Amino acid sequence: MADLFANRPRVWVDGKFFHRGAEKFYLKGVTYGPFAPNAAGEPFAAPEQTARDFLLARELGANVLRVYHIPPRWFLDLAAHHDLLLLIDIPWDKHLVFLDDDARRAAARQSVCHAVLACVHHPAVFAYSVANEIPADIVRWSGAPRVADFIDELVAEAKRLDPQCLCTFTNFPPTEFLRPQALDFLCFNVYLHQPAPFKSYLARLQLMADAKPLVLGEFGMDSLREGEPVKCETLAWQIELAFRGGLAGAVVFSFTDDWYHSGRQITDWQMGLTTVARERKASFTVVQKMFHTAPRFPLPRTPKVSVVVASYNGDRTLKACLESLRHLNYPDYEIILVDDGSTDTTPQLAEEFRRGETSGERSPEKVANAEDSCGAASHQLVTSATGGKFHSFRHGTNLGLSVARNTGIAAAAGEIVAFTDADCRVDPDWLYYLVADLLTGEFVAMGGPNLLPPDDSAVAAAVMVSPGGPAHVMLDDRQAEHIPGCNMAFFKTALTTVGDFDPIFRKAGDDVDVCWRLQQAGFKIGFSPAAFVWHYRRSTLGAYLKQQRGYGEAEALLLRKHPEYFNAFGDSVWRGRIYTPAKYGVLLRPPIIYHGLFGSAPFQSLYASQPALTLMLLTTLEFHVLVTLPLWILAVTFKGLLPLAIASLVISVGVAVAAGVQATLPKGRRRWWSRPLVALLFFLQPIVRGWERHQGRLSRQLRAEPVRETLDSVTLRDGTASLGEVRYWAEHRVERVAFVARVLRGLDHQGWPSRSDIGWSEFDVEIYGNRWSHVQLLTVAEDHPRGRQLIRCQLRARLSLQAQIAFWSLLGSVALVVGFFGGWRNWLVLLLLTLPLFAYFLWRQKRKLQSLIVVFLDELAKQEKLIKVPTGRIVEPAVAPKSGPVRVELPKAAEINPPVTAESKATVT
């Protein structure tokens, strides 16, 4: 009978989901058996009963049965006849300490081979589970890495006999930490009967699954203990949450109360949807209804979504991007293509896409707004026959990524604005999952994974596991700190609130900037693991390094605008965990597993070890410039330093090689040169990106109109008065924290790069005004009688990283001169000539910045009706002057700090 169904397509993995032929395939399953042995001694019901059960399963809406023994041929044929697929658990003695016994390991391999050979190429086979729920104490005894490796061996055995078969290992919370690498999808048995923990745990499992599908292999409830009404309610929300959470399928335990286990009939559990006599329970009807609704449960509403694609010379992949957007499973959306001055065939592709559509209407006011946002951008409108309306805009010249995205925002009619890139293909359910998670109300922005397309090159696969690729940064299982620009969506009002994308980001960094600004405004960003896009990586070494140069340039701009998110070397510092195929460092120790007391915890989590970022410092541009290069230069004169110079270079190369060895390359795209290429990229990327970052820090201004000196600031700079402190008198009470907030708003309005204290600093605001220095502002408020206050502002000038590098470089240059020409007198003369001059220059730069900030504070004080007070003894001005500092008589000490009386205390209060 199998031959009759030989032409049926097999199920295959497509990103986070399955496909069967050209259509997506979602598992809607139920476990079946095991039963008391039939007349043939098989752990299955009689063929006649099985046929009746299969009809009931189809009535239920199930398309997959999970069985726990190798099915006989008649069972496979009967399943195929009813268009049911089988998830086959392969039984072997996993409850024994199998890794300590060669015979037991061989028996497990033999079981897998026997199962695959018995079912090979049969159209009823969905997948094999090579193991089911290995006991936690067995894994703890043998060690998690060894057990995971053995599971991978079993998968390899199955793939050897049937290369196209799907394989998994059915895990459960006590061994959550097991991470085999060869699985086609993740499968978990989860029995949680409260909605919040269930939803949270599925989100956790989705992050663990990463780019693979996640299947709920077992879940259910006992009618005998919990009652059928509670079971109905629980199964309903479990199925809905599973599919809303982006799982590729769910399998209910079980089809019937008829259950034979460990050599006996089980009578004290009733987990089935039918009775032993196959009578339908109320839960059967509930699951039937949910299966018929799954996978796309109705959204509470379907707000209009505007999908913006900004493209600059992206014709290689743009057509595939637009075609994927035409077939989204979402009822109300529009596509907005912004051609940012491309010189390739992008205009022709847009025209080709337009000709394949039907004309539509568009609000002239919205078009006018869009045109205003990008100058003389041209606009065309069409309506997709299969999707949403299509709009195309074209900039006359390349204005940069942020401007292009802002053009799309201005033209957007949707309540939600989603973004993807021209080098991406979206999943058909991309918008469904993004919008569903946005409508929960907790988040104003939502991102999703970006996966390597199956047709991308082996070079692209190596690039994917190399540093510097797009990644999401997670604060917990649902909330993100950063979402990549190739896959993100926002409520349009949230973008408008923070001012859309900053035009200074022309190539990259716009997504990081807008995420940080949203969080600074008090908003939250979420992550939807099922809303994925296929993202084509750079396919040549030159293209990858060009991308990293652009990222370095963006980092320089981000550092000037958000210095609080960077360390002294200019590297970004994230609060959350980075999720990326690249390990962005070398792992020196294995992960830590929480087993619970004596290994008995019901949920045993794996805490991944963090990469040794200190080792990665040995590959940075700073290390090469400050250590390796000077050692090689000095080794020319001092031969004894040559071994150190060689060791310095060898260590840097060795770290890159170690990162290449540890890289997890996708199967099927591994070549003999893949790991050497990854090692080369780990070595080159920090140099290229660091060079561009430092070049940007040293040469580029944050604003097109940098802060200029005024007459007042020049006078202050050239004067002799101290600029370390300014004071302002308030005739009314001023909240110091509110005053600092107004300072920050004023700095932001004028384009001053700054960072504020987040609870750990010894200052309120750090202000960056030039490349040589920055100023730390510290405030204090003194309470005075009759509700008056004195606001004191301390300005601490500090040398910047550039100034410190320049200083040590100067010393190094002098040392080199002495090394080549010798003589301590030369050293002394050079030191006496250069260091004082440079120190005076730096002092002038610090004073210049202090004077600018004093003028800024003076202007802010005028707006707040505060009176500037000269430094020295504290004074109490009687009348607010129109302008300039106050000149008044000094009061007596008793007037400043009078004795506290009941009347004065009440006045102060």
**pTM for the predicted model, two decimal places:** 0.79
Residue pair 90/131 in contact by the 8 Å Cβ criterion? yes
**Per-residue pLDDT band at 778 (split at 50, 70, 90):** very high
How much is the pLDDT for 827?
Answer: 57
pLDDT value at 143 more than 70 = yes
Residue pair 270/222 in contact by the 8 Å Cβ criterion? yes
How much is the pLDDT for 878?
Answer: 46
Least trusted range by pLDDT, from 36-45, 71-80, 384-393: 384-393
- Residue (of 131, 107, 434, 127) closest to 302 by Cα position: 434
**Per-residue pLDDT band at 455 (split at 50, 70, 90):** confident
Q: Which of helix, strand or coil describes residue 267? A: coil
**Per-residue pLDDT band at 832 (split at 50, 70, 90):** low
pLDDT for 797-827, tens place per residue?
888 767 777 777 666 666 665 555 555 565 5
How much is the pLDDT for 891?
Answer: 35
**Per-residue pLDDT band at 374 (split at 50, 70, 90):** very low
DSSP letters along 862-873, please?
HHTT-EEE-SSS
How much is the pLDDT for 278?
Answer: 94
Q: Which of helix, strand or coil describes residue 412? A: coil
- Residue (of 448, 692, 434) closest to 551 by Cα position: 692
Least trusted range by pLDDT, from 32-46, 214-228, 289-303, 686-700: 686-700
Q: How far is CA 278 from CA 47, 49, 71, 205, 551, in A?
A: 15, 10, 21, 34, 63
**Per-residue pLDDT band at 213 (split at 50, 70, 90):** very high
Query: Which of the 8 DSSP states describes residue 559?
Result: H
**Per-residue pLDDT band at 699 (split at 50, 70, 90):** low
pLDDT value at 358 more than 90 = no
How much is the pLDDT for 632?
Answer: 87
**Per-residue pLDDT band at 564 (split at 50, 70, 90):** confident
How much is the pLDDT for 906?
Answer: 32
How much is the pLDDT for 19?
Answer: 94
pLDDT for 737-773, tens place per residue?
889 988 988 887 777 777 777 676 788 888 877 778 8
**What mean pLDDT do residues 425-430 have?**
95
How much is the pLDDT for 701?
Answer: 43
pLDDT for 77-88, tens place per residue?
999 999 999 999
Q: Where are the beta strands (DSSP E) in 328-455?
A: 333-339, 378-383, 389-394, 416-421, 424-426, 445-447, 450-451
How much is the pLDDT for 28?
Answer: 97
**Per-residue pLDDT band at 875 (split at 50, 70, 90):** low
How much is the pLDDT for 613?
Answer: 65
**What mean pLDDT do residues 21-26 have?**
91
pLDDT for 125-142, tens place per residue?
999 999 999 998 899 899
The overall average pLDDT reported for the chain is 83
How much is the pLDDT for 593?
Answer: 64
Least trusted range by pLDDT, from 102-116, 624-638, 779-793: 624-638
pLDDT value at 302 more than 60 = yes
How much is the pLDDT for 32?
Answer: 96
pLDDT for 623-676, tens place per residue?
888 888 888 887 877 788 888 889 989 999 998 898 888 888 887 778 889 889
How much is the pLDDT for 426?
Answer: 95
Residue pair 282/311 in contact by the 8 Å Cβ criterion? no
pLDDT value at 36 more than 50 = yes
How much is the pLDDT for 576?
Answer: 76
How much is the pLDDT for 692?
Answer: 85
How much is the pLDDT for 828?
Answer: 60
DSSP letters along 94-161, please?
TTS-GGG-HHHHHHHHHHHHHHHHHHTT-TTEEEEEEEE---HHHHHHH-HHHHHHHHHHHHHHHHHH
Most confident by average pLDDT, 106-110, 782-786, 846-850, 863-867: 106-110
Burial of 646 (C-beta count, 10 Å sphere; 0-12/13-18/19+)? middle
**What mean pLDDT do residues 312-330 have?**
92
Residue pair 531/433 in contact by the 8 Å Cβ criterion? yes
Residue pair 319/349 in contact by the 8 Å Cβ criterion? yes
**What mean pLDDT do residues 307-330 have?**
93
Q: Where are the beta strands (DSSP E) in 249-304?
A: 249-252, 260-261, 264-265
Give the residue with greater pLDDT, 580 vs 190. Answer: 190
pLDDT for 891-900, tens place per residue?
333 333 333 3
How much is the pLDDT for 706?
Answer: 45
pLDDT value at 708 more than 80 = no
Most confident by average pLDDT, 293-307, 741-755, 871-885: 293-307
Burial of 735 (C-beta count, 10 Å sphere; 0-12/13-18/19+)? exposed
How much is the pLDDT for 880?
Answer: 42
pLDDT for 574-614, tens place per residue?
777 887 777 666 666 666 666 666 566 666 665 566 666 67
